[in-house]
């Protein structure tokens, strides 16, 4: 079995932003105590829990490398858990980092052995990742999701952009415009405000245009990644669909895969790695 | 006399964002009461005071047009002031608006009669304005200053960007990079964070790079305005110097003029216009 079927799940808002290093173990035990027995239960963690400000730092491994480096053992006070954290990846030049995505990439490769191509991981910080012969060759991060949130909430555009609603035509126009005339991107933003003031442009149209402009800017810059490549998108629902449709219009078809499934498969692969290394 | 010498000045944080329309008159009187006599004193206003959410709306005038349209008379309860508001300008396509800058343009033209060329007004919302035969022909707004503030304060970049400090080499590299490879602009942002995490890039260098990237994006998009044109910058101190130096590197020398002086000259010209129309 390459995939993994969860028996139970639990969520918490606690994380790097709110916990001191000492507070991670009690927070985890509090969350999963019902699942634990007398013998040590293996806990495999990935993401910001391994950052410098996290529980225990799991230092970045430099690309090119396999997505999964040996997970770092965490010393715990409790003996009913045995915790490992998966290291993130770094790229010296151009400087870039990831934490968490390497686990999804490992999951994708566990489920698709021998796959070569480019993995697109849209989100707050989108990643484009070139994968070959089971290794992450290089990657590039874009702040697209964070830019969208920040521009639509913290700038003058907030008065003209809806929180929901979608205008597909406006989205595709803006993507196409950003890709074909990237030198004009900076000229497009204030228009979203002015079109509202002068022409009462619907705020859902402005939302779609901003999304198209930012995704178009990402696609213009990531073209060396996706042009003529085998593309897989690891992304949830609407966001993955939007990226796939924008890429399809550029003649670049992509397969969409589920991020939770990839994470679980990646954690499973990392768990096996800890067993091999024992 | 085309210029104007202030006898006194007064500031207040009150404005469109905090005042209801009824509250403008008392706020103004409170600020300038010491200057008033028994006879009506002329008050000429420009900027957001004339917006829909301001004191009284002074509707936008469409370009191409002279920068100063006839100021709109405001009905006041008090008889010791006679208030006029200068209308802003609008451009139907591409949609764009200005309020306040038209007064500075009018001041610049009053001080430089017969001047033709492009006026650059850097700031929170930078404007590029094509002026010919005393008219504003067209213009384009860029959110450069607001983008800089938002990205350095409200995104993950805030951890890696200093509030002060300047690295001229990093600034010019980023400007040049954005102008010569505008399609790569979106790929440059997250590097500012990663260069800090991996290589401890000085936060003042990141600040200069972000500034260069955003001003470079503006210059890439505004090239049709400045290429081969007569350029005047209406801007204060450091910001005006930065734009002038970036333009000079592109072989586009610009003259810097003082915004306060231009505003006063523009208000003076508008005052004359109200007298002619009486």
* d(C-alpha B178, C-alpha B186), whole Å: 10
Instruction: Residue A193: list chain B partners with CB under 8 A.
Output: 97
Residues A145-165: pLDDT tens digits?
999 999 999 999 999 999 999
Least confident of A12-26, A74-88, A114-128, A216-230: A12-26
Residues A162-203: pLDDT tens digits?
999 999 999 999 999 999 999 999 999 999 999 999 999 999
- Average pLDDT by stretches of 10, chain B with 278 residues: 77 91 96 95 96 95 98 97 98 97 98 97 97 98 97 96 97 98 96 97 98 98 97 95 97 97 97 84
Q: DSSP letter at B65?
A: B
pLDDT at B15: 87
Nearest to A97 by CA among A72, A125, A71, A121: A125
The total of other beta-carbon atoms located within 10 Å of residue B66's CB is 17
Residues A225-235: pLDDT tens digits?
999 999 999 99
pLDDT at A15: 87
Exposure string (b/e) for A48-61, b if CB count within 10 Å is 16 or more? bbbbeebbbbbebb
N- to C-terminal Cα distance for chain A?
A: 21
Nearest to A95 among B143, B157, B194 (CB): B194
List the domains of chain A with CATH numbers.
Answer: 142-257 (3.30.420.310)
pLDDT at B1: 45
pLDDT, averaged across chain A: 96
The number of residues making up chain B comes to 278
pLDDT at B278: 57
A5 band by pLDDT with thresholds 50, 70 and 90: confident
Instruction: Residue A185: list chain B partners with CB under 8 A.
Output: 182, 185-186, 217, 221
Asked if B140 contacts B96 with a C-beta cutoff of 8 angstroms, the reply is yes
Phi, psi of B179 (to 5 degrees): -75, -40
Pick the more confident residue, B249 or A3. B249
A3 band by pLDDT with thresholds 50, 70 and 90: low
Nearest to A143 among B141, B189, B201 (CB): B189
Share of chain A above pLDDT 90, in %: 94
Residue that is written with structure tokens 């440059």 in the block: B188
* d(C-alpha B169, C-alpha A79), whole Å: 54
Average pLDDT rounded to a whole number, residues A103-109: 98
pLDDT at B277: 63
CB–CB contact A94 B221 (8 Å): no
CA distance A41 to chain B (A): 33
CA distance A179 to chain B (A): 8
* d(C-alpha B276, C-alpha B273), whole Å: 5
Q: How would you classify the pairing of strands B41-45 and B81-85? A: parallel
How far is the CA of A140 from the CAs of A122, B243, B255, in angstroms?
Answer: 12, 30, 40
List the structure tokens of A149.
């949130």
The number of residues making up chain A comes to 278
- The tally of CA atoms less than 13 A away on the side-chain side of residue B236 is 7
CA distance B109 to chain A (A): 26
A1 band by pLDDT with thresholds 50, 70 and 90: very low
Q: Which residues of chain B approach chain A closer than 8 Å at the C-beta?
A: 60, 90-92, 94-97, 125, 140-144, 146-147, 150-151, 154-157, 182-187, 189-191, 193-195, 197-199, 201, 214, 217-218, 220-223
What is the rounded (10 degree) CA torsion for B177, B178, B181, B186?
120
CB–CB contact A156 B150 (8 Å): no
Share of chain A above pLDDT 70, in %: 98
Instruction: Residue B157: list chain A partners with CB under 8 A.
Output: 143
Asked if omega into B172 is within 30° of 0 (cis), the reply is: no
Instruction: Residue A90: list chain B partners with CB under 8 A.
Output: 194, 197-198
Asked if B120 contacts B132 with a C-beta cutoff of 8 angstroms, the reply is no
Pick the more confident residue, A26 or B16. A26
User: Residue A218 above 80 pLDDT?
Assistant: yes
**In terms of C-beta density within 10 A (0-12 exposed, 13-18 middle, 19 or more buried), how is residue A93 classed?**
exposed
Q: Which residues of chain A approach chain B closer than 8 Å at the C-beta?
A: 60, 90-92, 94-97, 125, 140-144, 146-147, 150-151, 154-157, 182-187, 189-191, 193-195, 197-199, 201, 214, 217-218, 220-223
Please give the interface size between A and B, counted as residue pairs whose CB atoms are below 8 Å apart.
132
pTM (predicted TM-score)? 0.94
Nearest to A78 by CA among A32, A47, A12, A16: A32
Which chain A residue's Cα is nearest to B141? A190
Interface confidence: ipTM more than 0.85: yes
CB–CB contact B187 A222 (8 Å): yes
């Amino acid at each position: 079995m390459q995939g993994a079927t969860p028996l139970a799940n639990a969520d918490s808002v606690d994380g790097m932003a709110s916990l001191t290093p000492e507070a991670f173990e009690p927070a985890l035990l509090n969350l999963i105590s019902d699942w634990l027995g007398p013998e040590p239960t293996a806990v495999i963690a990935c993401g910001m829990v391994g950052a410098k400000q996290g529980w225990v730092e799991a230092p970045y491994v430099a690309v090119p490398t396999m997505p999964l480096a040996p997970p770092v053992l965490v010393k715990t006070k409790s003996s009913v858990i045995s915790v490992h954290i998966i290291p993130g990846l770094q790229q010296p030049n151009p400087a870039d980092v990831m934490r968490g995505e390497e686990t999804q990439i490992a999951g994708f490769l566990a489920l698709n052995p021998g796959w070569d191509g480019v993995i697109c991981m849209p989100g707050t910080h989108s990643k484009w990742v070139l994968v070959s012969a089971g290794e992450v060759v290089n990657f590039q991060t874009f702040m697209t999701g964070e830019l969208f949130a920040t521009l639509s909430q913290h700038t003058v555009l907030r008065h003209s952009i809806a929180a929901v609603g979608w205008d597909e035509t406006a989205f595709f126009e803006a993507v196409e415009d950003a890709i074909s005339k990237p030198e004009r991107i900076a000229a497009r933003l204030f228009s979203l405000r002015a079109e509202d003031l002068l022409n009462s442009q619907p705020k859902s149209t402005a939302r779609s245009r901003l999304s198209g402009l930012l995704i178009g800017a990402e696609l213009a810059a990531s073209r060396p990644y996706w042009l003529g490549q085998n593309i897989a998108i690891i992304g949830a629902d609407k966001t993955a669909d939007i990226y796939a449709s924008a890429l399809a219009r550029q003649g670049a078809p992509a397969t969409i895969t589920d991020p939770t499934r990839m994470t679980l498969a990646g954690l499973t692969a990392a768990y096996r790695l800890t067993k091999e290394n024992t």
